[in-house]
């Protein structure tokens, strides 16, 4: 039977729908984080994080999907996100959210700097804007000024100097106008790793600007995380938040590569390997490690993004085997955890909101393209208040964009096709037969020297032809080497493609996973209520029924911790 192809462009198109519609025009396109799609009628509601993390991560996301699609659609929303990002900066160079009716205590949470500084870095890289440069430089200096620097170990046997920078923040929140109030905390715990999420963005800031303060801050934070924090054991294992830990690993890998410090790179690999050991082969990644029983874990899509991002950092540090993991994760669970339809959502566009920041309008249309914050391997759990999560809508498109960028990659005149994913680029156009047929076709554009990366699923019976004529297989590492190309030349890689069923235990459940090459085309037992891996081409997708009239309409039904 024929199966649907993985379509990265379609996923980006759906993401653009969510990013441009799940916003509040009355508040200059401020994003909405909270979405309740199981209520009757469904509703959308603002919360504090909308003007904190989201304006930054959604900016990065929309820039990525616009580049993938080659479109300027949504430019007005993108620029609104930037306007919000540029507002509400204050003491110590920190950014504070606006004083909206739904905001409560105005404060700065240090984990949000991972998103804020990443957005400023992108603006600096793409546009070189002075304002972004100044805000980022002031933020880095403010953060460096707020850390505690550990200089001496005072132990029972004596005092011992610490001969490397070791920095940590004294708390995870900073109250506007008051500073550190030690009676107030986020309550999440794990302050070292949550605060340390900024590591990758801080290292990236040093990479693109040469700012020595960024390098100093990053080095001190990295040393604390791998030492005195006692967060990771010697094998890279940990207890707690996967999104934070793997994002930290991305920072360690980048810092280690740029400073040629193998300790950082090696530890990043250990963390990545540990999380991979808890994940499925097709990309389901638990939200927490060793906190709940695995049977109670769900997959926050942010964690899949982190495994992909960290994977690329490790590849750039020399660990090229990780291409296979990225390929399996992006085309399977990342793709599946995106909401493709809102047909099952009950909508009442006549209902008037009874409080600021609330709307019932067109939820079924606006929610399409969002990603789940609570995926199971075979379903999206609609019972979770984060069945669609604003944080994941900011991060998942960034993973798509990174894969898109690296699918056709020009390295000093040699063009690499790194993934069996369709893409049209100036250097080359890639078309695939997967998952139905075992072929990949590259049409040369400006490429004269081509390298086609091969994967374990392709097996050993490979054949290569250029313009219909067989070519011998010439290898360069894991890539097939094709030189002397002219514009319009057609390069065809073929191999047998089989469908097979493999057994795998994920989240404490025994699954039969049907693979066709690198694509999962079936998963048993089937999920409920929003079934994943319905990939038979042309088959009507099974979707949940709409909620009954008078369903749960409690606007404050979400748990206290609204954002992980």
CA dihedral 406, 328, 64, 415 (to 10 degrees): 10
Half-sphere exposure in the Cβ direction for 144 (13 Å, CA): 18
- Alpha-carbon distance values, 170 to 153, 184, 213, 250 (Å): 17, 12, 19, 23
pLDDT of 26: 96
Instruction: Report whether 435 contacts 515 (CB < 8 A).
Output: no
* Cβ neighbours around 438 below 10 Å, total: 22
pTM reported for the whole predicted model: 0.96
Residue 544, pLDDT score: 87
pLDDT of residue 387: 85
**What residue has token string 């991002």?**
309
Contact indicator for 95, 174 with CB cutoff of 8 Å: no
Give the chain's residues under pLDDT 70. 385, 550-564
CATH topology classification for 410-494: Maltose phosphorylase, domain 3 (2.60.420)
Which pairing describes strands 173-175 and 23-24: parallel, antiparallel, or unpaired?
A: unpaired
How confident is the model at residue 553, as a pLDDT? 46
């Amino acid at each position: 039977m024929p199966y649907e192809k993985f379509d990265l462009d379609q996923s980006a198109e759906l993401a653009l729908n969510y990013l441009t519609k799940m916003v509040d025009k009355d508040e200059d396109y401020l994003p909405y984080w909270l979405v309740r799609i199981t209520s009757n009628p469904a509703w959308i509601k603002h919360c504090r994080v909308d003007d904190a993390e989201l304006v930054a991560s959604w900016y990065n996301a929309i820039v990525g999907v616009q580049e993938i699609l080659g479109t300027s659609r949504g430019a007005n929303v993108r620029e609104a996100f930037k306007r919000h990002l540029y507002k509400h900066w204050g003491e110590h160079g920190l950014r504070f959210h606006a004083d909206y009716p739904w905001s409560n205590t105005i404060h700065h949470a240090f984990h949000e700097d991972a998103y804020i500084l990443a957005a400023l870095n992108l603006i600096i890289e793409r546009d070189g804007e002075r304002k972004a440069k100044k805000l980022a430089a002031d933020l880095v200096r403010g953060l460096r000024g707020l850390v505690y620097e550990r200089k001496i170990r005072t132990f029972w046997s004596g005092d011992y100097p610490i001969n490397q920078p070791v920095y940590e923040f004294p708390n995870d929140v900073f109250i506007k106008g008051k500073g550190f109030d030690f009676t107030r905390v986020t309550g999440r715990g794990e302050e070292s790793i949550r605060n340390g999420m900024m590591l990758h963005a801080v290292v990236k800031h040093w990479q693109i600007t040469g700012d020595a303060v960024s390098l100093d801050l990053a080095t001190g934070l990295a040393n604390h995380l791998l030492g005195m924090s006692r967060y990771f054991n010697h094998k890279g294992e940990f207890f707690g938040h996967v999104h934070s830990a793997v994002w930290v690993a991305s920072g360690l890998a980048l810092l280690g590569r740029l400073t040629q410090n193998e300790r950082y790179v090696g530890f990043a690999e250990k963390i990545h390997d540990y999380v991979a050991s808890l994940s499925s082969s097709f990309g389901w990644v638990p939200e927490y490690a060793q906190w709940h029983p695995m049977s109670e874990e769900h997959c926050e899509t942010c964690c899949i993004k982190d495994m992909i991002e960290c994977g690329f950092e490790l590849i750039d540090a020399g660990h090229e085997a990780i291409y296979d993991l990225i390929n399996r994760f992006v085309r399977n669970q990342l793709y599946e955890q995106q909401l493709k339809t809102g047909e099952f959502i009950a909508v009442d566009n006549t209902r008037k909101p009874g409080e600021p920041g609330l709307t019932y309008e067109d939820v079924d249309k606006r929610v399409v393209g969002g990603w789940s914050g609570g995926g199971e391997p075979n379903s999206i759990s609609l019972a979770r208040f984060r069945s669609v999560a604003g944080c994941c809508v900011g991060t998942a498109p960034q993973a798509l964009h990174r894969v898109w960028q690296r699918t056709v990659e020009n390295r000093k005149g040699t063009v690499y096709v790194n993934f069996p994913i369709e893409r049209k680029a100036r250097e080359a156009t890639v078309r695939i037969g997967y998952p139905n047929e075992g072929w990949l076709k590259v049409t040369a554009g400006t490429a004269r020297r081509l390298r086609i990366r091969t994967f374990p699923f392709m097996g050993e019976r490979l054949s290569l032809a250029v313009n219909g004529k067989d070519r011998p297989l010439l290898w360069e590492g894991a890539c097939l080497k094709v030189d002397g190309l002219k514009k319009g030349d057609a390069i065809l890689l073929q191999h047998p493609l089989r469908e097979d069923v493999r057994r795998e235990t994920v989240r404490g459940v025994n699954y039969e996973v049907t693979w066709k090459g690198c694509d999962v085309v079936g998963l048993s037992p089937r999920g409920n209520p929003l079934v994943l891996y319905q990939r038979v081409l042309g088959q009507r997708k099974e979707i949940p029924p709409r909620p009954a009239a008078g369903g749960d309409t409690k606007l404050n039904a979400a748990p206290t911790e609204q954002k992980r």
